[in-house]
Structure 1
Amino acid sequence: MNKPMPLADFARLPPVHGAQLGDGLAGAIDAVAERAPPGQRFLRYGWYAAALAAYGGEARTLIVEREGTPVLALPMVATGPRWLGMAAVPGSYWPFRSFPVRADAGAGAFDTALARLARAVTALRIGPVYDDDPAAGPLIDAARARGWAVLDRFVADSYLLDIAAARRDAAWPRNSTLKKNRFHEKHLGAHGTLDWRFVGGADWASRAFDDLAAIERASWIASRTDGRDAKFTDDGHGRFWRAAATDPVIASMMWAAVLDVAGKPAAFSFDLNLGALKYAVANSYDPAFAKHSPGKLLYYRNLVRGIADGITRVDWGAGDSGYKRTIGAEPGPAIRDWLLVRPGIGAVAARALAFAWRRSGHHPTTPDTRELPSES
């Protein structure tokens, strides 16, 4: 009688991947996002639905499955002239515009995604995303390996504050900083009673967004720009954030610190909190109180509260590096915009135009010495 073969003697077959591309946003987006790296878990169905509601477009979703389990979800909207067949990942511009991938997806998921994409689009735009983005990075690597043209343009440097490291070295915030803040708070209080409050989760009602919008309308962004970059006004990105908050999971990640002076909203800091990581998305203040640094006072209070809540790292994103460096942030991964063009005549043309695409981006304020794989 033949003895059964030990299990260890069987050769493990590689996992089977399959891809489906369907119209609309797929419900499987949430299943993938829930198993994505912690910093990507806000990339849910509600996030992309909010983008469509705010900015328009008709979505398609590419879902890659491994042995029947969704491991990658790539929402896309058409961009540019229809005849070009280009698509882009939708979403809010900050903290970044990427797509969810399970942390254990493996390289095969990206190869499968590229094979299906090549039959569906001429080119795919992803960005802005960080150089270490766990979804975009492997997809870009797979595209290069498959002969796609890969174009990048620099958007900005990011800035990261490692609170855990700062607290290991010394008291943080420093006592001298807290003393200066108390001095400014005392003089700010001459304008009226100060109320420091926090908004999160179920508190995201219309009134909360109205308060943030009121601060932006009084701020420099309204007086010095056309206001389109404001996060919470009707003529800015307010529609997006109000729509995103209808997903209770995303709402639980959204967080704001607000300062009221004499009962009137005067400053805010708005973040996404994902476990120990805080994305600092936006902050603003009423310039009527600028002499007493209300924004600085508020974000220090916000960070102290974050420490109490288990925050150990703050991603300040892009923008003015002055106050970020003052608070202890250091340059992090570069933020770039990517264009992936499938093999063929389009890829040949894209490689010829790569220099123009790169020049259309921003220029680093400090020399950008980070090396990217060269385009072959």
Structure 2
Amino acid sequence: MNVARRGIVPDPIARQPWGMLIPLLLLTAFGAAVLYSAAGGSMDPFASSHLTRFAVFLVMAAVIAALPQPFVRLMTYPAYVVVLLLLMAVEIIGQVGGGSQRWLNLGFIVLQPSELMKPVIVLTLALYFAKLPVGLITSWRALAVPAVIIGLPMGLVLLQPDLGTSLALAFGGGVVMLLAGLPLRWFFGAGLAAAAAAPVAFYFGLQEYQQRRVLTMFDPEADPLGAGYHITQSKIAIGSGGLFGKGFNNGSQSHLQYLPEPHTDFVFATMAEEWGLLGGLFVIIAFAIILRWGLKVAFQSRDRFGSLVAGGMTATIFFYVAVNLLMVMGFAPVVGIPLPFMSHGGSSMLTNMICIGALMMVNRWNRDAPRSGFAS
């Protein structure tokens, strides 16, 4: 029986997608526990700010979820232009940190515009394909214009340099194009072209440290104290956790500072050492529930725009999760992609909560709109 109708739970609360929100809340709380341990048994500086950011961005996601579709359509192209201008500003006046120029100091916040571009590029391509007549989906307009939409921010991000974010932009945009119905042969052709160009890009397009990261992925033991140090220590931490882990706040790799970045990029390794395989399964299952819900929202969308937005936002979250987990286990180069809702970091939390808010927004559109099939 519907508890909202019986008056037990207010209708606005009962209508929320708790099947996604509960795993999200549990995952974030678990992340705070791991960050508490990573700080040596202290809420500061990681766990407290992690929970504060999540609370603030959850309110932001609720605001996004309430946006009407006409307003979102109206603001999508201007938002793309604004974020593109911010990326250009990074190249001119951006802050440098860790050898990269990625941030803008706006006084009240230090902003990483490339993170904002991830959900914005999904919205932009979704709107473009929603407006494109179905008969033109195999024409040059279905490929050339999106290539420019993706290529401009990718080029600016590569100048920072930030390979991981540029790949995230390409992945999110590519998924929207795939869902829009572009011919599969185009994607196979692009894959073959990328494979053929990979050696040239490796030797002439990547920085020296990026080349070392790629080579280290194949043989981290070749330089265990240099380029392979991160992956080697991560594997030790994950492997030493066993089935049940060493116990909460008892991780040696992170506490003795053998594990680099235990609170950001390698937070999964920090968790696995203390919580073992069971903790890892909890994290993976929680992400699987969230991503499955996102795909369900996309498939149930009443219109083309909503479906593409939901599919692209789900793909963006998936990219974070997949690359981070592959990275900490040594199956992908170390590219600085944090684990959503668990790693300490405001920029990645902002991006992923925008994606969550957009998915809740489309879910509300689905619930409120009459069932009439796809529309432009």
Q: Verify same fold: TM over 0.5.
A: no
Q: Select the structure that is richer in strand.
A: 1
* Higher-RCO chain (CA-CA 8 Å, sequence separation at least 6): 2
Greater Rg over alpha carbons, structure: 1
TM-score by length of 1: 0.28
